[in-house]
């Protein structure tokens, strides 16, 4: 455990909030140490509180690299809203220029910080994979039709009549732990298409184990699935539970999708230091 206060910034990407720490001049702790640190610091009310932690590292193949951890302390390959916040952090701290690249476990992310309606960040992400449409998923006493795609992390998408009247927590948790997606589980998205370019979305996130105000990879999954089923055409605006809008764009080539990008706000919330007491049990 750290013995000195740890400088950090807190950023929010359309309601998804992250603790970001510049760790380029330090050696990464062990996975067990990181899991303990992240799970403690992400607690709301007892510590800083966030949906996840981003560790900025040096990279030999990009402007910088990152490690991303969900609030439960588990490291995952990708978090799209997190990439936008990492890009803003790197730009503001002169780690990278406005247009840059950074290294993730899912591949290289291309990012651009733009002055547009405040500060917006556009990221181009690795191509999605493993799409499966029309899956019958039994959740207790009901069976829903779900659609699966990996957009850097696993996502199931359900079409519903009204996202505000849907049991996001109950259905999301059952989906997250469903045997079809064992052992790693999946995220669950519930969407309502409002017109050919707009979708309302709510997401239950694995690792956070709750609904989040926005999910970038989930928004991408929703846009891709809805396009594959000929319900929307790009660019697609995702209306998140935070009230913020995420824009997803891409090219469709037959049954595959290329040049997937996500644009939205990435705002600096505050800067501070994590004290030892924030990590107490």
- Decide if 79 is catalytic: yes
- Angstrom distance (rounded) from CA 200 to CA 127: 23
Tokens of 20: 């970001």
Count other Cβ atoms within 10 Å, centred on residue 169.
Answer: 14
Among 11, 34, 214, 215, the active-site one is 215
- Angstrom distance (rounded) from CA 164 to CA 167: 8
- What's the per-residue H, E or C state across 86-113? HHHHHHHCCCCCCEEEEEECCEEEEEEE
69: closest CA among 53, 93, 85, 88?
Answer: 53
Among 11, 56, 71, 79, the active-site one is 79
- Decide if 85 is catalytic: no
With both helix axes pointing from N to C terminus, report the angle between 80-92 and 216-228 in degrees, rounded to the nearest 10: 130
Provide the annotated active-site residues: 79, 215
């Amino acid at each position: 455990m750290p013995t000195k206060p740890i400088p950090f910034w807190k950023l929010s990407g359309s309601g998804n909030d992250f603790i970001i720490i510049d760790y380029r001049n330090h050696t990464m702790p062990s996975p067990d140490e990181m899991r303990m640190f992240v799970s403690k610091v992400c607690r709301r009310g007892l510590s800083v509180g966030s949906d996840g932690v981003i560790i900025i590292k040096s990279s030999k193949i990009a402007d910088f690299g990152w490690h991303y951890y969900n609030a439960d302390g588990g490291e995952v390959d990708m978090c799209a809203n997190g990439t936008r916040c990492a890009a803003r952090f790197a730009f503001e701290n002169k780690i990278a220029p406005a247009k840059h690249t950074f290294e993730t476990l899912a591949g290289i992310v291309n990012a651009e910080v733009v002055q547009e309606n405040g500060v917006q960040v556009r990221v181009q992400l690795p191509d999605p994979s493993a799409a499966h449409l029309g899956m019958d998923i039994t959740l207790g006493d009901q069976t829903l039709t779900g659609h699966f795609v990996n957009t850097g992390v696993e996502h199931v998408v359900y079409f519903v009549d009204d996202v505000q009247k849907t049991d996001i927590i109950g259905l999301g948790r059952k989906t997250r732990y469903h045997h079809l997606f064992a052992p790693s589980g999946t995220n669950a998205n519930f969407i309502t298409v409002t017109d050919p370019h707009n979708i309302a979305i709510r997401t239950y996130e694995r690792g956070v184990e709750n609904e989040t105000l926005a999910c970038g990879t989930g928004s991408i999954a929703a846009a891709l699935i809805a396009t594959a089923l000929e319900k929307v055409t790009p660019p697609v605006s995702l209306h998140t539970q935070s009230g913020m809008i995420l824009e997803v764009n891409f090219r469709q080539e037959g049954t595959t999708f290329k040049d997937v990008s996500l644009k939205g706000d990435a705002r600096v919330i505050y800067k501070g230091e994590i004290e030892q007491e924030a990590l107490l049990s």
